[in-house]
Amino acid sequence: MRSLLITNIGELTTHSDEGTRTDAAMIVTDRVEWIGPATSPHAADEIFDAQGAAVLPGFVDSHAHLVFAGDRAAEFAARMAGEPYTGGGIRTTMAATRAASDADLRSNVARLVDEMRRQGTTTVEIKSGYGLNVPDEARSLRLASEFTTETTFLGAHVVPPDVPRDSYVELVTGPMLRACAPHAKWVDVFCERGAFDVDEARTVLAAGMAEGLLPRIHANQLTEGDGVRLAVELGAASADHCTHLSAGDVAALADSQTVATLLPGAEFSTRSPYPDARRLLDAGATVALATDCNPGSSYTSSMPFCIALAVRDMRMTPAEAIWAATAGGARALRRSDVGHLGIGAYADLMVLDAPSSVHLAYRPGVPLVKEVLHKGVWVR
């Protein structure tokens, strides 16, 4: 494979033993091969002059719901006019998704993945969860797997209106799971009042694990509950949302390998209180940031936007937020080959139109991601 020298890097953030360097250079193929000072002699097939710009790992968006049709702009407008968010709109998207053709669903995923890439995301997790029957959940995961290896079976998103509750859990843990497992790496459940209680969630995740899927969980988004403790009990890679946590939840996360994945786009778009990232970090928990991109509660594909929210409203430092959006996301997906730029990692990175990564939070809403490299290939 051809080698690429990226030189005159003003600030190189690696999240590895290589540290954060100034006036740096790196040589990559599909992986990171060498890192050193810009002044040292080096040769490669191609040269890219970063002209003093900041370079950092590509974002790892570890939580996104991209397989859907339609949008819910009217619901958003109503919410901003004072109506509360309940999660019931998921059924609106379910109907649109079931009615859509494969081609329409695929082109919507492609549009969103491209939108993410242009904003620096090089790894994305994609969930099912808007089909809510056997053929449409399996179809959602087949389509998702065309775009990423990080596919998540979320048949237990909500109970669809056309199936009784008990028989839906049986469906999700039986025929639906068997149809979906071949296309999925992860199993997930929306553990929340109005969705699935903790016993149902345990049943869903245990069934998925028995089929070889790895657990993750939507936990403690709208209310305090037992979701986070279930995630820790099962050794889940991630407990996602973590907005309403007891002191026991925070301690349990800090003592575990389970990442607390915070999704501030959801609180922004539902005008809700943000999770307390500072409390989690000070306790020693591992924190990730992700978009939760979905048409109802968080229709943003922008990791820089989430970083800006986390810094401004969740008391994270810029460095902590950027780590959470890259290395933290990789931890939440149990990946060691992305989210950092150590030697041997995938050459997934972005070049900013700024001299330091702090600008991602300091200049919110500004399109600072200038170039994106994915596995050694320029994709923007």
Contact positions vs Zn ion (CB under 5 A):
292
Helix residue spans in the chain (DSSP H): 73-80, 90-99, 102-118, 134-144, 165-173, 175-180, 198-210, 227-234, 247-254, 264-269, 277-283, 303-313, 318-323, 329-332, 359-362
Kindly state the smallest distance separating residue 361's Cβ from Zn ion, in Å.
23
The CA distance from 376 to 155, in Å, is 35
Q: Which is nearer to Zn ion, 4 or 90 (CB)?
A: 90
DSSP type of residue 181: G
Kindly state the smallest distance separating residue 278's Cβ from Zn ion, in Å.
23
Q: Which is nearer to Zn ion, 292 or 320 (CB)?
A: 292
Q: Which residue has the tokens 């242009």?
A: 118
- CB nearest Zn ion: which residue? 292
Q: Which is nearer to Zn ion, 249 or 292 (CB)?
A: 292
Sign of the torsion angle spanned by Cα atoms 233, 238, 240, 244: positive
Kindly state the smallest distance separating residue 44's Cβ from Zn ion, in Å.
41
Kindly state the smallest distance separating residue 218's Cβ from Zn ion, in Å.
5
Q: Which is nearer to Zn ion, 14 or 243 (CB)?
A: 243
Kindly state the smallest distance separating residue 298's Cβ from Zn ion, in Å.
8
Q: Of 202, 193, 64, nearest to 130 (Cα)?
A: 64
Q: Which is nearer to Zn ion, 10 or 275 (CB)?
A: 275
Burial class (CB in 10 A: 0-12, 13-18, 19+), 246: middle
Q: Which is nearer to Zn ion, 9 or 158 (CB)?
A: 158
Q: Which is nearer to Zn ion, 150 or 292 (CB)?
A: 292
Question: Tokens at residue 3, please?
Answer: 């080698």
Kindly state the smallest distance separating residue 221's Cβ from Zn ion, in Å.
8
The CA distance from 323 to 307, in Å, is 10
Kindly state the smallest distance separating residue 74's Cβ from Zn ion, in Å.
21
Distances (CA, A) of 308 to 112, 264, 281, 321, 335: 20, 10, 17, 8, 24
Question: Tokens at residue 64, please?
Answer: 């996104």
